[in-house]
Structure formats: C-alpha cells, structure tokens
Amino acid sequence: MNIVKDKILQEFLNSYIKITSQEKLEQYIEYCIYNNQKDRIKDKEGYSLSAYHHMLPEALFDGYKDLKENPWNGTHLLYSDHYYAHWLLTEAIDDYGQLNAFCAMHNKDIKLGKINESDLIPPEEFQKKMEERGRKYSEWCSNNPEKLMEKSKKHSEFMSQKTLIEGKYQSIAEYNANLRAIRERNTYIGDKNMIDIRISKTVNTRRKNGWDTTKHQESMKQKQENGKTKQENTTLKMAKTRQLKKISFEGKEMTIKEMCAIKTSRKARERAKKYDVYNSKGEKVYCDMIRLDIIKIHTTLFNTSEDKPLGSTTQSINKLRKLNKMNLSGLYIKETNNPLLS
C-alpha cells in the first residue's frame, strides 16, 4: 500500500501541476487506497454503485490512462467516496479541469441519484468552488482568445451535426439560417419591422378566435351624444383623470400627471448614467456604457457588482453554460462618476 502511495505522490510532485496543499494530496491518495472496494459493486438489479477512479487523473497523466496496463492507478470507489475524492483533489492541486469536473459531478450525481444530499459538501463551500471556477475560466478566456474561438466553432459544428442527426433540419445551411433568425428576433426586439410583425400576428390570432378588429375600429369612430367619437371621449377622460385625480406617492399627495413626471425624470436620469465593465482580474474591459449597451452583453450584467459578478451563483453559471457564454463569467459593472447627474 505504501509503495503505491509513494509512487502516486512522487508522480504528482514531479509533474508540472501546481500543488496547493501536499497534506491534502497525501490525504486524497490515502483515502482512495483505503476506500478501494477491490471490484465493481452492483445492486440486486445489476446497476453499478461504484466508479473506477484514476488516482492519477487521466486528463493530467496520459501515460497512466489505461488501467489494464496500470492497475495500481485504479481504485473502485462508492459514488459517495468518488465524489469526496474529487473534492480532496481540488483542495490539493490548482487545476481548472479537475475543478470543473468536481462542480459538474456535484450537480449531476445528485440528479442521477448516485449520491444523497447528506454526502454533499456545505453549500457555502460549493459556492466558493463555483466562484473559483468562474475566475479561472475568465482568466483562460482572456489569455487564450484563439482557442476560445476554435472551441466555440467546434461546439457550433457539433450542434449543427446533432440537429441534422435528430432530423430537425435538412441541411446545416437551413439550421444556420434558423439560428440567425432566432438571434435577430431576440436581439432586435425594439426594431419597428419586428414590432409590426408581432402586432400583425396578434391581430391574426384574435381574428381566428372570433375577435373582429374592423368592428372594434368602427365602434371607436362612431359619434356619441356630445358630438365626439368614442375614441376622443376616452382620450379626454384619461387626460382629465391624470390632471385632477390625486394619489399618495412616496408619502406626498399629488396628481397622476405629477407622479408620471417624477418617474419619467428618474428614468431619464437612470438612462443617462454610464458604467464601466470589469473582468475577474479587476481590469476595465468596457468604458462609459449606457444601460442598453450593458444589457446587450448579457441581460443580468446590469444587476452585478464587484461582490456578485456574473457566474457567482449556481443558477447564473448554469444559464451562462446553456447559452454558451461562459466567457462572460466574472464580469461586473461600476457606475462612472458623472458630475452632471450628481
């Protein structure tokens, strides 16, 4: 047992991998050896209850990847032990790949029923791991823009092929055309043509449901007792209500018109504010951006701060992953000092 431990420890120490805690590393190796089940464990129905774990990770030590040739590097661990072993490894070495594998395992194994909630590390500890993963990925993206583009291109090609296999589209060109249409629809939501299309779709839907727009327009143009149309009377009534009706707003009594003026002024001031965007290293990546431009980068970026950047929670990191925007992880905003608005 000591021979295997010494060999694995020596391989780690002789490698290029950054060791953050040799004590944790030795604890990891001992844990894997001590909890070895010797063979794969199965339940009565034949489902596996254990994982065959590489003590020297196959992603870092390619020469010991084949466990038939290097059986000493393999250990049969129960799923709960396998999860804990990966956590110990992230504590022992500084490697993004192993950290990413552990974070994925934390979310995946609980959903698949491999481990129980009682087996998980505390939520605050996992949150720290997620934040660390976000920082490391952001640093990697900043340092490897070419690899990031290549990765994005490969992912796009993979999704195209996957969609073709599933039979949703006849060709990759058709898939890409549909993808562009979706992006345009989501990005240019305020475009006049898109709004007109949406209105026409709404009108057509109402017509199908028996709602006749022509009759409604005719009734609005009919003159009433005072000689004005229904549409004109409705407009006058609304204007009169805004000018005369008083309400309580922020502890003060005022008309609806005055309240609307205050809200409009505040909105104008908010829109005029400018912000700087920073990455996880604290470097300024964008300057003097208005709210609309920030939202174009990512919808929730406007709600971030230095303490809570993009990807600081499990929910937000999952959204970034689904949208293939992990490169935005770690970004946050600060308001630019503007003496005109103070």
As a three-state string, the secondary structure of 101-170 is: HHHHHHHHHHHHCCCCHHHCCCHHHHHHHHHHHHHHHHHHHHHCHHHHHHHHHHHHHHHHHHHHHCCCCC
| Sequence-ordered list of residues with C-beta below 8 angstroms from that of 222, at least 6 positions apart, any chain | 229, 230
pLDDT at position 55: 92
Helices (H), the chain: 2-14, 22-34, 79-92, 96-112, 123-143, 145-165, 172-187, 192-208, 213-221, 230-244, 256-272, 291-297, 314-322
How many Cβ atoms sit within 10 Å of the Cβ of residue 304?
Answer: 22
> Closest Cα to residue 275, out of 265, 263, 284, 264?
284
Nearest to 188 by CA among 308, 324, 296: 296
Strands 275-278, 246-249: pairing is unpaired
- Measured in whole angstroms, how far is the alpha carbon of residue 14 from the centre of its chain? 37
pLDDT at residue 145, rounded to an integer:
74
* CB neighbour list of residue 8: distance below 8 Å, 6 or more residues apart: 29, 55, 56, 73
pTM listed for this prediction: 0.47
Structure tokens at 58: 């196959």
pLDDT for 90 = 92
DSSP labels for 240-260? Answer: HHHHH-EEEETTEEEEHHHHH
Q: What is the pLDDT of residue 214?
A: 64
Could you give the C-alpha distances from 141 to 16, 22, 76, in angstroms and in order?
21, 29, 35
**Residues ≥6 apart with Cβ < 8 Å to 19:** 12, 13, 25, 92, 93, 94
CB contact at 8 A, 93 and 67: no
The residues, ordered by sequence, that sit 6+ positions from 241 with a Cβ below 8 Å of its Cβ are 256
DSSP code, position 323 = T
Which residues, 6 or more positions from 289, have their beta carbon under 8 angstroms from its beta carbon?
A: 274, 275, 276, 277, 333
Task: Tell me how far apart the alpha carbons of residues 52 and 65 are, in angstroms, rounded to a whole number.
Answer: 12
Mind listing the pLDDT tens digit of every residue in the chain (342 residues)?
Answer: 578 888 888 888 888 888 998 899 999 999 899 888 877 777 666 667 788 999 999 888 888 888 888 889 899 898 888 999 999 999 999 988 889 889 888 888 888 878 888 888 888 888 888 888 888 888 877 777 777 777 777 766 666 666 665 666 666 677 677 766 765 554 444 444 444 545 455 555 555 555 555 666 666 667 666 677 777 777 778 777 777 878 888 888 888 888 888 888 887 777 778 888 898 888 888 888 887 788 778 878 878 888 888 888 777 777 777 677 777 888 888 888 755 544
Instruction: Round to whole Å and give the CA distance between 56 and 163.
Output: 36
Token pair listed for 34 = 């001590």
From CA 253, how far away is CA 259, in angstroms rounded?
Answer: 9
Return left, alpha or beta for 167; rule: phi > 0 is left, psi -120 to 50 is alpha, else beta. Answer: left
